[in-house]
Structure 1
Amino acid sequence: MKNKILAILKENPGSVSGNEISDRIGISRSAVWKHVGQLRRDGHQIEARTNRGYQLIREADILSAKTLSDALAAHGLADYIQAVEIVDETDSTNEMAKRAAAAGAPGRSLFIARYQTAGRGRRGYTWVSQADLNLTCSLLLRPEADAREMASATLFAGLCTAQGLNLLVDAQEERPFAGIKWPNDLIAKSSGKKLGGILTETAMEENRVAYLVIGIGLNLNQTHFPDDLAASATSLRLECDRPFRRLDILCAVLRRFQALEGLLLDRAAWIGSYRALLLTLGKTVRIVEQGRPAWIGQAVDLDEEGELVVLDARGQRQTVRSGAVSVRGLMGYHPTTL
Structure 2
Amino acid sequence: MLIADVQTAGRGRRGRAWVAPPGTSLMMSVLLRPPPAAIAPARASLVTSAWACAAADACADVAGVEPRLKWPNDLVVSAGATDRKVAGILTESVIERGAVAALVVGMGLNTGWPAVPAELAGTATSLNLECGRPVDRVELARVLLRGFEARYARLCESGDARKLLAEVRRRSATLGRAVRVERDAAAGGTLAGVATDVDDDGALVVTDAAGTAHRVDVGDVVHLRPAAAAAPSAGPSAGPGRAP
TM norm structure 1: 0.60
CA displacement at 1:253 relative to structure 2: 0.6
Q: Which of these residues, 147, 152, 162, is aligned with residue 46 of structure 2?
A: 152
> Match for 2:21 among 130, 134, 158?
130
What code does the residue aligned with 1:260 have?
A: R
The offset of 1:336, in angstroms, is 6.0
SS state of the match for residue 132, structure 1?
coil
Residue correspondences, number:
221
Which residue of 2 is the match for residue 97 of structure 1? Answer: none
Mark the structure with the bigger radius of gyration. 1
One-letter identity of the residue aligned with 1:185:
D
Unpaired runs of at least 5, structure 1: 1-109, 171-175
**1:266 deviation in Å?**
2.5
CA displacement 1:78-99 (0-9 Å, x = unmatched)? xxxxxxxxxxxxxxxxxxxxxx
Is 1:285–1:298's contact at 8 Å kept on the other side of the alignment? yes
Q: Equivalents in 1 of 2:189, 2:43: separation in Å? A: 31
- Asked if 1:269 corresponds to 2:160, the answer is no
3-state secondary structure, aligned to 1:197: strand
SS in 1 for 2:5: strand
- Cα offsets for 1:103-144 (capped at 9, x unmatched): xxxxxxx10111122111223222222221111001111111
1:14-93 aligned at under 5 Å gives the runs none
Query: Which residue among 203, 206, 217 is the counterpart of 2:94?
Result: 203
Q: Give the alignment of 1:235-250 within 5 angstroms.
A: 235-250=126-141
Matched, 1:178 2:67: yes
Counterpart pick for 1:283 among 168, 171, 177? 177
Decide whether the 8 Å contact of 2:8 with 2:18 is kept in 1.
no
Match of 2:147 among 256, 270, 294: 256
Structure 2 unmatched runs, 5+: 233-244
Residues 130, 222 of structure 1: 8 Å contact kept: no
Please state which structure has a larger fraction of its residues in strand: 2
Q: Whole-Å Cα distance in 2 between the matches of residues 260 and 320 of structure 1? A: 24
1:165 to 49, 59, 82: 59
> Equivalents in 1 of 2:194, 2:200: separation in Å?
18
* Contact 1:285-1:297 within 8 A present in 2 as well: yes
What one-letter code is carried by the residue in structure 2 that aligns with 1:118? Answer: A
Q: Counterparts of 1:143 and 1:336 in 2: how far apart (Å)?
A: 41
SS in 2 for 1:233: coil
Q: Give the letter aligned to residue 150 of structure 1.
A: A
Q: Identify the match of residue 216 of structure 2 among 320, 323, 327.
A: 320
CA–CA separation in structure 1 for the residues paired with 2:100 and 2:200: 21
2:203 alignment partner, one of 307, 317, 324: 307
The equivalent of 2:34 in structure 1 is: 143
> Which amino acid in the other structure matches residue 283 of structure 1?
R
- CA 336–204 in structure 1, closer or farther in 2 if over 3 Å, else same: closer
Query: How many Å separate the matches in 2 of 1:267 and 1:297?
Result: 26
Q: Give the letter for the 1:335 counterpart.
A: A
User: Residue type matched to 2:71 in 1?
Assistant: W
Change (3 A) 1:307 1:208: closer
**Distance in 2, Cα, partners of 1:148 & 1:300:** 20
Q: Which amino acid aligns with 1:297?
A: G
**In 1: Cα distance, 2:200 partner to 2:208 partner:** 20
Whether the 8 Å CA contact 1:286–1:295 is kept in 2: the answer is yes
Equivalences for residues 179-194 of structure 1 within 5 A: 179-190=68-79, 192-194=83-85
CA RMSD, 1 decimal: 2.2
Q: Hey, which bits of structure 1, 4+ residues long, moved more than 4 A?
A: none
% identical aligned pairs: 37
C-alpha spacing 1:161/1:306, structure 2 compared with 1 (3 Å): same
Q: Does 1 or 2 have the higher relative contact order (CA < 8 Å, sep 6+)?
A: 2
Task: Tell whether the 8 Å contact from 2:193 to 2:209 is kept in structure 1 after alignment.
Answer: yes
Aligned to 1:17: none
